[in-house]
Amino acid sequence: MIKEDEGLPHDQGRLNIRTSQVFLDMKATFEQHFEKKGYSEGSSFFKQVWFLEKDKDFLNMIRPSATPQGQASNSMHELLREVSDGRDDFKNLRCERDKFIDKICEKVYELHKQQIKSEKEIEYFNANKTSQLLKASYENITKTHAEAVSLSTLQVRIKKLDKFPEGKLSFDFHLLEINPNDITITKSVNRSLRNKYIEVKDGSEVIIFNPNETKNIFEPITFTLLGFTEKDVAEKKYDLSGTNLASFNLVVNRNETSFGMSHPETFFENFFTSIDRLMDTKSEKVTIFTSVEIHTLDNNPRKYNYKSSYNIGLELEFRLDPLTRASIFNRIWLELDNLCRENMLCSKTKRELLENYFGETLSSQIETILKRKPEEEANDNNCQCQDGCTIY
């Protein structure tokens, strides 16, 4: 699963939103609405502002006998706390109009983008049907098997090598494991190729290994299921896969010198995107193919005629104990359930901020802007950077 704007600094992500045409159109709509209510550019509003007049929770907060609230009651109150000079004490509410408009437009646009993203994932994974099948499989396995039959194993093979420079290449498969008895404790485990190294004789060649090749196989890995709660998932997020395997990355040495490495990749993401293979329970073996990008460590790779990165295709062959497979099912089911909840929450929060406070007319205008045609919205990602984009 790929997170939108992943890896971007928070301020950079905000800049992307605030320079988009969708954001600017929403902002102009809100500004016109505030102008009609008597709030011009540069002005501020206080606790008597019109859109809070029917908010019973807010009115209770500003009663003379009320104490400053430490926690907002809903998304609007949370937004007000962020932009108000009085922060928690709504009796002293003072918000700059323009600052509030920027914030609510940013929040609504973020919610819309997240809602669209989750809807696409729900459709892609057929989330409702898949959740039911996973839950049924989980219940069937746990009823049939009282305890683990054996340890599960993972065999990693290199299937394809990009055009690496000539030389002897050695590979280390770095694995992050979670302690099954305490998920807050992790340890690093390393596996090397059985054949120690692969010799590349022609740097212009892409090497594809045949199924019977043995020199491309890493030492085997054993693992087990991992118990977890919904709270654990919320706190650890994608590190939890249903097994004690958390993540992995590949380190490459060339002629016994460090050459490059890939970014960590979680096992959960590989399981999540391979649901169909996992649900085929006729065989204990599940094979997942993935590709990692090796980033060269040298600051000036061109000096040695290197590329800045190289791709390596990997085959992950899992042999799963039934209860370990059930634990993975449970983890994926929880993720799909969270995806559906997140989608509903985005819709609810957006409606709360717009319709509940500003009425159907303004809400409808904003929704029209948000529902622009995909090709129009795609134009928002065009920038005017010279000599290559510095944002995307």
pLDDT tens digits, one per residue of 329-366: 999 999 999 999 999 999 999 999 999 999 999 999 99
Across all residues in the chain, what is the average pLDDT? 87
Confidence of residue 168 (pLDDT cuts 50, 70, 90): very high
pLDDT digits (tens, 9 = 90+) for 98-129: 999 999 999 999 999 999 999 999 999 999 89
pLDDT given at position 54: 94
CA 382/CA 250 separation, integer angstroms? 34
Helix (H, G, I), strand (E, B) or coil at 366: helix
pLDDT of residue 299 exceeding 70, the answer is no
pLDDT digits (tens, 9 = 90+) for 247-296: 999 999 999 999 999 999 999 999 999 999 999 888 889 999 999 999 99
The residue-averaged pLDDT of 222-249 equals: 90
154 neighbors 327 (Cβ within 8 angstroms)? no
Which of 96, 66, 61, 92 is closest to 77 using CA atoms?
Answer: 61
Quickly list DSSP for 35-96.
Answer: HHTT--TT-EEETT-GGGTT-HHHHHHTSTTPPPPSS-SSHHHHHHHHHBTTTT-GGG-EEE
CA 35/CA 41 separation, integer angstroms? 8
Mind listing the domains of the chain with CATH numbers?
10-122+344-381 (no CATH), 150-320 (2.60.40)
CA 315/CA 308 separation, integer angstroms? 24
Burial class (CB in 10 A: 0-12, 13-18, 19+), 95: buried
pLDDT given at position 212: 79
pLDDT of residue 380 exceeding 50, the answer is no
- State the first-to-last Cα distance of the chain, in angstroms, to the nearest integer: 19
pLDDT given at position 385: 46
Q: Would strands 285-296 and 257-261 be described as parallel, antiparallel, or unpaired?
A: antiparallel
Confidence of residue 7 (pLDDT cuts 50, 70, 90): very low
Supply the pTM of this predicted model: 0.80
pLDDT of residue 375 exceeding 50, the answer is no
